[in-house]
Chain A
């Protein structure tokens, strides 16, 4: 879509210099690779009253990752570090929500408490986790990786404590909606959750000065302070947002399986979220950021996973393929490679122009 509009208005060179060009190319490349083995990869049908197809799976399954990537982008931009506790915070939020809804039972078929109460409590707990991370990083100046390592390690323990070490099941249709479909709507509900988060984040960043402040603090926290920005507060806020969004992602993930599986909800998702930020062309050292890039990165990761399923790659080789593709994408986007590619392009254009000149002289 962006390509066609770009082509009509800008030159190809301008297009390739757009910040989002490479992430988009990578996503498209991953998706198109499916046509070799699965020609109907892009086919979307209505099956059983809902949208059905690989593309829908990609968009649906990436929802949690998109939500996390938004938070991770802000944290990365402001503090130049990553929040590795988001996966564990997801588990905590899921545990709190399920435990409240089940009223302490291992499995329940009726809500023991109102749904809204569980959601609010889960989000508050997740936000508190974000506050803790933010306090450690912003106020105590602890390195983000180290500060968030605390909840990364303890989070699942806390979730286990909340659920008494059991998997708590909430077998109520209303609880499953967020992870499946709104009644009568053919589009999977997690997509709406991701969309809502993205739109709200986008509006806040564009309509308020928060986005600009985050970039300023990320580029040079001390300089930002000298021009009157409270960099401590801004860093703190990004971690709070990240924690809150981890809570949202946790609720979606938990609704999908209508249970709180403290060991597995959001497992290793923090690494995927960081990868999404990197694949989106953002510097992990902080500063300027592009939210759209991270979101594209998140979809790329899920597209890769779904693609490997569609390719029928055997399970023991799955991580290897994933790693190889990620390495290729990262190299493709690295400054050194881009410089080299640019040089290659210049030489190619330089030779024919020189020949043309020579011809003119004669």
Chain B
């Protein structure tokens, strides 16, 4: 009995210690972020806005009981079911939507963080329907399994806009429209850039490329790999040596690159399908005694990547990454535009793609053309990086 009591006390102490550990580290975040750079203040503001939005959501849920909530064009009530907060990219996406649909702009945003679980999102959507929101914005965790809940939204006459990731439903009319990244176009643009770059440098020899793929089956992986494979087919001097998944992580990217370097000693270009994989690849290349950069004529290995996170662009600025193609998380403004059009009674395309740019510190290519459309390359400077929110 005595032992049991002692052990109980110990566990409580342990739990308390763990909580205290977490608590103190967050506290230290708060203190340093007030003292330090723009990057952390932006996180601080996003947490602040999160707090604000929870406050508003409780406020509106009480208000919605009073059924006479006026919904004019500006006073729209919007429910946003977000995947979670698993990456900087996602955090930037959430912040963008929250900033756009802020109370100052005349909107009421009900925000739900599903913590990567579909059942949480389904519950959130049902809540939104009960609270009679005007629009539901859904960033789905998975592609499938949405038929029932979207039917409920349709029956309640609430338009659903799917953002970022897409849904796979039997009946397309279950959602109003969708907006996302065109991953195939991202791949096409990156390859068009490589083509233009090689032309600008007068390189006509064989170019050996390795592809560190994303998580197999992810839409970003499928589109970006497809873009590269198509380009390799179209260019007789492009030689795709190998493609293996790095699962979108730095650790795997490094491991895969280590293996590539041992198999092939003639790699010219690394096509990493996200920034994290590129970081790992760069470490592996450096560890093998080779150098990264755009001078592929003299044995440097060029790294091309996607996403354009702040960390990625920092590496792009010093030339370790030669091209970083953006995957834009800032859906807020575009969503606002779309909702405005829907309010005006217009019909939108089922699928809209968000504008995405490309970044390089190398200025030998200023624009690329993919199927008739010109895409400019943003010349990278420190101020470009500082001006970005993620």
Q: Chain A interface (Cβ within 8 Å of chain B)?
A: 38, 47-50, 52-54, 57, 61, 96, 99-100, 103-107, 112, 121, 125, 128, 131-132, 135, 139, 157-158, 160-162, 164-167, 169, 180, 253, 256-257, 259, 261, 263-265, 267, 305-306, 309-310, 312, 314-316, 318
Contacts and interface: CB of A to CB of B under 8 A. Distances in A.
A47 B33 contact: no
A257 B39 contact: no
Nearest to A57: B258
A315 B259 contact: no
B231 interface: no
Given A257-B254, A264-B250, A314-B244, 17 more contacts: A53-B262, A57-B262, A158-B22, A161-B22, A164-B29, A167-B88, A256-B251, A259-B250, A264-B251, A309-B244, A309-B256, A310-B259, A312-B263, A314-B243, A315-B213, A315-B216, A318-B245
Interface string B316-336: 000000000000000000000
Interface stretch (B13-21, B169-177, B179-187, B358-366): B13-21
A255 B263 CA distance: 26
A265 B91 CA distance: 19
B289 A135 contact: no
Contact of B40 (A106, A259, A263, A306): A106
B70 interface: no
A107 to B, nearest CB: 6
16 contacts: A61-B255, A106-B39, A106-B88, A112-B32, A125-B21, A131-B11, A132-B11, A132-B14, A166-B43, A166-B91, A180-B287, A263-B86, A310-B259, A310-B263, A312-B244, A315-B213
Given A53-B262, A164-B26, A312 B18 contact: no
Interface of B: 4, 7, 10-11, 14-15, 17-18, 21-22, 25-26, 28-33, 36-37, 39-40, 43, 47, 85-88, 91, 115, 213, 216-217, 242-245, 247, 249-251, 254-256, 258-259, 262-263, 276, 279-280, 287-289, 310-311
Given A132-B11, A139-B7, A125 B18 contact: yes
Nearest to B242: A312
B25 A162 contact: yes
B25 A100 contact: yes
Contacts, number: 136
A107 B311 contact: yes
Contacts of A160: 85-86
Contact of B21 (A52, A96, A164): A96
Contacts of B40: 104-106
Nearest to A41: B262
A257 to B, nearest CB: 4
Contacts of B15: 132
A47 B288 contact: yes
Of B18, B29, B40, which is in contact with the most chain A CB atoms at under 10 Å from its CB? B29
Contact of A310 (B39, B85, B262): B262
B26 A315 contact: no
Contact of B29 (A52, A104, A256): A104
A257 B18 contact: no
Contacts of B251: 253, 256-257, 261, 264-265
A132 B311 CA distance: 36
A103 B25 CA distance: 8
Top-7 shortest CB links A-B: A48-B289, A104-B29, A315-B245, A309-B259, A165-B85, A257-B250, A104-B32
Given A57-B258, A164-B43, A169 B311 contact: yes
Nearest to A112: B32
A20 to B, nearest CB: 28
B4 to A, nearest CB: 8
Most chain-B CB neighbours within 10 Å: which of A57, A99, A106, A112? A106
Given A48-B287, A128-B17, A161-B26, A104 B250 contact: no
Contacts of A253: 251
A193 B381 CA distance: 41
B244 A315 contact: yes
Contacts of B25: 96, 99-100, 104, 162
A112 B31 CA distance: 13
A158 B26 CA distance: 12
Contacts of A112: 32
B21 A135 contact: no
Contacts of A166: 43, 88, 91
Contacts of B28: 103-104
B380 to A, nearest CB: 17
Nearest to B11: A135
A166 B213 CA distance: 23
